[in-house]
Structure 1
Amino acid sequence: MCGLSGFLQGRSSSFSLATTIEGMTERLIHRGPDETGVWVDESIGLALGHRRLAVLELSPAGAQPMHSAGGRFVLAFNGEIYNHLALREQLAVEGATPAWLGHSDTETLLACFERWGIQKTLQQTVGMFSIAVWDVQGLILHLARDRFGEKPLYYGWVGQGGGRAFAFASELKALRAYPGFANPISREALALYMRFTVVPAPHSIYQSIYKLEPGCLLSISADAAPGDMPAFEKPLRPPFDQEGVTLQRWWALGDVVQAGAQSLIRDETEAISTLEQRLAEAVQLQSLADVPLGAFLSGGIDSSIIVALMQQQASRPVKTFTVGFEEAGFDESPHARAVAQHLGTEHSELFVTSAQAQAVIAGLPEMYDEPFADSSQIPTHLVCKAARQQVTVALSGDAGDELFGGYNRYFWGPRIWSRLAWMPAPLRRALGATIAALPVAGWNALGRPLNALLPSGKGIARAGDKAHKLAARLHGVRDLDDLYLSLVSEWQDPAQVVRGVAGARLVEPASLLDDVLPAHGVEPSQLRMMYRDSLTYLPDDILCKVDRAAMAVSLETRVPFLDHRVAELAWQLPLDMKIRGGQGKWALRQVLYKYVPRQLIERPKAGFAIPVGEWLRGPLRDWAESLLDEQRLLTEGYFYPAPIRNRWAEHLSGRRDHTASLWAVLMFQAWLERQ
């Protein structure tokens, strides 16, 4: 895992290219503490920078930026190509084997680029990556990102006058290091952030800076002089071809969904056997490393199945890691410990006090580099920090929920809507008001005896929070797709809280949620939710959260579920092999039960939660009050203070739990304070 940066400034530069790229690249040292490298072409005004975390080929033969053997390409690469040895074999079959200098996947990529070109090579890969590759012959800069967006890549226009450039980097902090960076905050992106608690691709928090969408290839010609080119005021969307800049998809999840719908696997035995085989192959590929390797283990379905398959293939106990909390209601460590004992892993537990967890908050603005408000970022960073003491690479169970139907909203949302759809809108709003009238604690009290009567694993965790969330969602919801958007939104109408935006839905398309759905394969509402989550929530929240939390301590994380062949199989499974009997991930459970007893796994889904809401009423109150001060909000000019202050008062009183929406404001305020 590494960090990359660079810029295309044009042939007239007002300052040293080498000094500039060195300064940008140095800001990414946490992503690659082992080595730094830069390459510049003064005649073109191009610079590439790279920080290396050595995982494969630890010798200087893996150093970047790297030149291809034939001299046509120069590459800065962040990620891993898991099948790079198979690609070398394929090159050998075609008689195109260069004189290999080492066994790095970077060298493999370059050889493939020379043989097959950029797009065909990307389609042959199994891996996670963001890349910047300069075509010396064509004078074209190519930027590409992996299929699901595991690795980040920002791009856009920075600087002014003769120093203006098209720049790109793994993180925004590298772009801010470009001389004369003065891009203002994007109000539209801020409004989207307040809705989703993350800044969704293709937006970034800054104007004229964007995230390259997963599965996309962006190309810019050196003939398109950045000094003369207008900065695009809106995010580029594929397909795009204008003024020497092209953007295209080299891989699309929608195509996978439609192909899967045409080749469904109806036989359950075949489906379970094939799933086990695909996952085992993915785990085996992703266990390749020249450095110590381990895995995160929460004791849930996804991480447990990854660890079980790792342990089956390993010759020694796998190193596994979990984090536990002093608050018993939030401590999942006993479940992880039980699974680890059963599988025989070398298990490490980090027990964290509230004070230790709260101490992480001060570093979050720097770590995430733009506003990011999934509070599980705190325990995620802590478990990454603990793992880094022993390993350099850790496998995770992320993406199992999106691919195999694990989130409660997939079965809870449709079940609720089926009972409400007949109601006229005024009646639904009245029902929402009635639900909201009972405090969160009251709903939790009602939920406990109900959960006790339900089979193991089918209860509702945090019933009070979910009841109040439903109450807020019932206002203005017209159909199940509206309900989904509402369920993934915190501030339902961002224009009511963010100054200077046009309206509730903002500019269309505001996010990838507005894109046209595949023509086939998402007819059931649950599949539509899973598809949309895979496009948005997975890369923008889950994968971003893990990448920044891990890279802050120079830990590489890998996600076997996102081997694209596993994803393709997931979309070949009928819905009832994902959600059955009011429970998600049916097929995954059948595989897991071959390795881990059912009783160690079956329990209500809890997530990676911490008691942030309680902390805001207690030890974090003064910190939050300072950031939410009414006069401060007015002076800064980004928010209308009234709705924020109202929610803050309700939260402090205990009448409502506004943790998520307040955390979004606090994380923006804390980020703004650091700018």
Structure 2
Amino acid sequence: MCGIAGAWSPQPRTGADELHALGRRMGEAIAHRGPDDSGTWVDADIGLVLSHRRLSILDLSPEGHQPMVSADGRWVIAFNGEIYNHAALRAELEALGHRFRGHSDTEVLLAGIAQWGVQAALERGNGMLALAAWDRQERALWLARDRVGKKPLYYGWTTDGTLVFGSELSALRAHPGLRHEVNPDALALLLRLDYIPAPYAILRGVHKLPAGTLLRLDPAALAAGDAGHDPLRAPLHWWNARQRQEAAIAQGFDGDEGAALDALDALLRDAVALRMEADVPLGAFLSGGTDSSLVTALMQAQSARPVRSFSIGFDNTDHDESAYATAVARHLRTDHTELHADGRAALDLVPDMARMFDEPFADSSQLPTALLCRLARQHVTVALSGDGGDELFFGYGRYLRALRNDARLARLPRRLLARLAGNPGERSRLGGLAAARAELATGDLQGVALQRVSRWRRPESVVRGARRAITAYDDPAALPANGGPADRLMALDFACYLPEDILTKVDRASMAVALEARAPLLDWRVVEFAWSLPLAMKYRDGQLKHLPKRLLERYLPTPLVHRPKSGFGAPVGDWLRGPLRDWAEAQLDERRLREEGHFDPAPIRAIWGEFLAGQRKWHTHLWGVLMFQAWRERL
């Protein structure tokens, strides 16, 4: 696991020494992602620098150093991630005549690119990645992100037309020519969703590469960017989630529940086994929920020694699952470590959130996630997680509510009711009649889903200069053309919420402490298998994630499998009324908000006043504003 960065100028103006210095600055900005080694590669004639920061996981020797040049000298790569099936690819490439110096997956990926080309090599791989690959023969730069979006990649243009890219926004900001202007459309998305989804980014002129896409740039495309055109807005899908889901739904699963259980067991066992390979200590995040318990159980079933497992709990029982995690660990006989936080540890992290997440991010579970990663890093360098199960196996209660309400509305004159209901705006967040009116104002299932995931319902009215930015929740093209309403709801979250919230949270919190997080449930084979299953295997008799729970019964006693689902958040509301109140008041000062010019202070101050007076739910509105304000202080 690593961090990458680079820059390419259409009209080279600097020499090799200056480019190396730039590459080092960009790399140093993300040194936390790779503290074990660093490197830069420069071609001064074309104005290109690639920079790499290394967290050594496979092949700890210098043979894994990056940027890495292919054996034939044609390709240069800076790679962040893991190729889990590298051993199988290595054998295939050796049969074709390739020879390897070390045993890193980077060298295998590079040989695969040399043999098959960038896209074909990506399609053969099974892993997580963000990469920059330079083709010296065709003078073309390739940027790519993995299928699901586990690893991030930012890119954009400086004021002099230089292309800059990197694993985190701070790497781009190390270039002196990057504009630091806030994008109000992206800021509005932050208030609505708690995160900023790809392709948007908080700074103007910067984008995030969407999951499963790649870009190819040659000097002509680079010059077009220098001339003010942006050729980077239409990346190529090398793995199209919507199309793959449609194909899986069309194919279906040919078998009964027993056959599905056996197939899921075999797929997950292999996915877990592939992700247990490391030349450094390895463990598991264990919350006690279905997904993390299943991953940990499959790890322990394939390990000759107790697996290291880690959990965290809070003194607020609404956010504490540690007792379940302890019970699961005891049954599986893992080597378990638990941190029970009294809240002070998480509070102490709040000022550091802006640095850790690099771009404004407001999912409050960022705090316990960061604490969990710090705990695990004291003992291991790699940790497996259960991320992805909810989006693949119908794991959220809001799916049921959305389906129920959409079905009810379908029997009514919806367009007429939408006009009559109007839009109650932010009051709909509080429930009751206002929430019912907001549901009536939605036009279809996507509208219901968006209503369910939104914090601020009309963020463009509070962010100055903001326009409505389109995401998967607004775009009918994001929906599979076949399948049922449940498939469409999960597809929306898979396209937006999973990569840009869940996986972003885990990436930033883990990489801030140089910890690699791996997600076996998001192996692409498991993903496409889940899409092929009928809803009856995911939801039955009121039980969410039916099939994973049935599978978990093979490894745990029933009482540890069937229990209410808990969230993994933090008691932010209590903190904002208590120990964080003075900090929040300073961030939300009316004069400050007005002078900085990003927000209309009136609605924010009104919500803050109501919250302090006892209104329970406004903390979710306020946290997004507070996280932006904290980030802006560091800009």
TM-score (norm 2): 0.95
Q: Please give the residue correspondences for 1:549-560 in structure 2 after superposition, counting only pairs within 5 Å.
A: 549-560=509-520
> Is 1:96 aligned to residue 56 of structure 2?
no
Cα separation, partners in 2 of 1:217 and 1:587, compared to 1, 3 Å: same
Aligned residue for 1:262, secondary structure, equals helix
Residues 306 and 333 of structure 2 are in contact (CA less than 8 Å); yes or no, is this contact kept in structure 1?
yes
Cα separation, partners in 2 of 1:183 and 1:226, compared to 1, 3 Å: farther
Q: What amino acid maps onto 2:377 in structure 1?
A: R
CA-CA distance at 1:215 after TM superposition: 0.7
1:33-71 per-residue CA deviation (whole Å, 9 max, x = no partner) reads: 000000101111000000000000000000000000011
1:104-125 per-residue CA deviation (whole Å, 9 max, x = no partner) reads: 0010011111111111100000
Residues 257 and 571 of structure 1 are in contact (CA less than 8 Å); yes or no, is this contact kept in structure 2?
yes
Aligned residue for 2:532, secondary structure, equals coil
> Is 1:177 aligned to residue 174 of structure 2?
yes
Q: What amino acid maps onto 1:341 in structure 2?
A: R
Count of residue correspondences: 629
Partner of 1:329: 318
Partner of 2:589: 629
Residues 324 and 352 of structure 1 are in contact (CA less than 8 Å); yes or no, is this contact kept in structure 2?
yes
Partner of 2:45: 43
Q: d(CA) in 1 for partners of 2:486 and 2:98? A: 47
Cα separation, partners in 2 of 1:20 and 1:227, compared to 1, 3 Å: farther
Q: Which of 450, 458, 465 in structure 2 is aligned with 1:493?
A: 458
Q: Please give the residue correspondences for 1:462-611 in structure 2 after superposition, counting only pairs within 5 Å.
A: 470-471=435-436, 473-474=438-439, 476-502=441-467, 506-507=468-469, 509-510=470-471, 513-514=474-475, 516-517=477-478, 520-522=481-483, 524-611=484-571
Q: d(CA) in 2 for partners of 1:325 and 1:468? A: 34
Q: What amino acid maps onto 1:260 in structure 2?
A: A
Q: What amino acid maps onto 1:96 in structure 2?
A: G
Higher mean C-alpha displacement, 548-557 vs 512-521: 512-521
Q: d(CA) in 2 for partners of 1:672 and 1:626? A: 13
CA-CA distance at 1:432 after TM superposition: 11
Higher mean C-alpha displacement, 137-146 vs 251-260: 251-260
Partner of 2:82: 80
CA-CA distance at 1:310 after TM superposition: 0.3
Q: d(CA) in 2 for partners of 1:191 and 1:430? A: 24
Residues 165 and 227 of structure 1 are in contact (CA less than 8 Å); yes or no, is this contact kept in structure 2?
no
CA-CA distance at 1:582 after TM superposition: 2.4
Residues 20 and 179 of structure 1 are in contact (CA less than 8 Å); yes or no, is this contact kept in structure 2?
no
Q: Which runs of 5+ in 2 are unaligned?
A: none
Q: Please give the residue correspondences for 1:61-460 in structure 2 after superposition, counting only pairs within 5 Å.
A: 61-93=63-95, 95-98=96-99, 100-160=100-160, 164-226=161-223, 229-232=226-229, 236-238=232-234, 247-265=235-253, 266-419=255-408, 421-422=410-411
Q: d(CA) in 1 for partners of 2:298 and 2:263? A: 14
Partner of 2:10: 10
Partner of 1:652: 612
Q: What amino acid maps onto 2:45 in structure 1?
A: S
CA-CA distance at 1:517 after TM superposition: 3.9
Aligned residue for 2:338, secondary structure, equals strand
Q: d(CA) in 1 for partners of 2:170 and 2:433? A: 38
Q: d(CA) in 2 for partners of 1:53 and 1:667? A: 28
Q: d(CA) in 1 for partners of 2:325 and 2:8? A: 48
Residues 157 and 178 of structure 2 are in contact (CA less than 8 Å); yes or no, is this contact kept in structure 1?
no
1:590-628 per-residue CA deviation (whole Å, 9 max, x = no partner) reads: 110100112113222222021101111111111111111
Aligned residue for 2:267, secondary structure, equals helix
Aligned residue for 2:550, secondary structure, equals helix
Q: d(CA) in 2 for partners of 1:366 and 1:469? A: 37
Q: d(CA) in 2 for partners of 1:382 and 1:569? A: 33
Residues 132 and 144 of structure 1 are in contact (CA less than 8 Å); yes or no, is this contact kept in structure 2?
yes
Cα separation, partners in 2 of 1:157 and 1:615, compared to 1, 3 Å: same
1:146-172 per-residue CA deviation (whole Å, 9 max, x = no partner) reads: 001000000110143xxx410100000
Aligned residue for 1:360, secondary structure, equals helix
Q: What amino acid maps onto 1:61 in structure 2?
A: E
> Is 1:613 aligned to residue 573 of structure 2?
yes
Residues 648 and 662 of structure 1 are in contact (CA less than 8 Å); yes or no, is this contact kept in structure 2?
yes
Q: What amino acid maps onto 2:550 in structure 1?
A: Q
Aligned residue for 2:33, secondary structure, equals coil
Cα separation, partners in 2 of 1:512 and 1:37, compared to 1, 3 Å: farther
> Is 1:54 aligned to residue 66 of structure 2?
no
Alignment identity in percent? Answer: 49
Q: Which runs of 5+ in 1 are unaligned?
A: 239-246, 438-463
Aligned residue for 2:57, secondary structure, equals coil
Cα separation, partners in 2 of 1:228 and 1:538, compared to 1, 3 Å: closer
Cα separation, partners in 2 of 1:432 and 1:327, compared to 1, 3 Å: farther
Aligned residue for 2:604, secondary structure, equals helix
Q: d(CA) in 2 for partners of 1:472 and 1:92? A: 64
Q: d(CA) in 2 for partners of 1:229 and 1:596? A: 59
Residues 216 and 250 of structure 1 are in contact (CA less than 8 Å); yes or no, is this contact kept in structure 2?
yes
Q: d(CA) in 1 for partners of 2:432 and 2:301? A: 42
CA-CA distance at 1:481 after TM superposition: 2.1
Q: What amino acid maps onto 1:91 in structure 2?
A: L
1:191-244 per-residue CA deviation (whole Å, 9 max, x = no partner) reads: 2222111111001111111001111111111344559723446x9443xxxxxx
CA-CA distance at 1:307 after TM superposition: 0.3
Higher mean C-alpha displacement, 332-341 vs 473-482: 473-482
Q: d(CA) in 2 for partners of 1:152 and 1:670? A: 22
Higher mean C-alpha displacement, 55-64 vs 615-624: 615-624
Q: d(CA) in 1 for partners of 2:433 and 2:322? A: 28
1:439-479 per-residue CA deviation (whole Å, 9 max, x = no partner) reads: xxxxxxxxxxxxxxxxxxxxxxxxx9776994574362233
Q: d(CA) in 2 for partners of 1:198 and 1:339? A: 32
Aligned residue for 1:371, secondary structure, equals coil
Q: d(CA) in 1 for partners of 2:134 and 2:407? A: 54
Q: What amino acid maps onto 1:489 in structure 2?
A: S
CA-CA distance at 1:644 after TM superposition: 1.1
Higher mean C-alpha displacement, 208-217 vs 191-200: 191-200
Aligned residue for 1:219, secondary structure, equals strand
Aligned residue for 1:608, secondary structure, equals coil
1:545-598 per-residue CA deviation (whole Å, 9 max, x = no partner) reads: 000000000000000011100001001100111111222111111110100112
Q: What amino acid maps onto 1:97 in structure 2?
A: H
Q: What amino acid maps onto 1:267 in structure 2?
A: D
Q: What amino acid maps onto 2:3 in structure 1?
A: G
CA-CA distance at 1:253 after TM superposition: 0.8
Q: d(CA) in 2 for partners of 1:491 and 1:498? A: 11
CA-CA distance at 1:13 after TM superposition: 1.5
Q: d(CA) in 2 for partners of 1:221 and 1:468? A: 56
CA-CA distance at 1:318 after TM superposition: 0.3
Higher mean C-alpha displacement, 306-315 vs 472-481: 472-481
Residues 513 and 536 of structure 1 are in contact (CA less than 8 Å); yes or no, is this contact kept in structure 2?
no
Partner of 2:602: 642
Residues 166 and 226 of structure 1 are in contact (CA less than 8 Å); yes or no, is this contact kept in structure 2?
no
CA-CA distance at 1:525 after TM superposition: 1.7
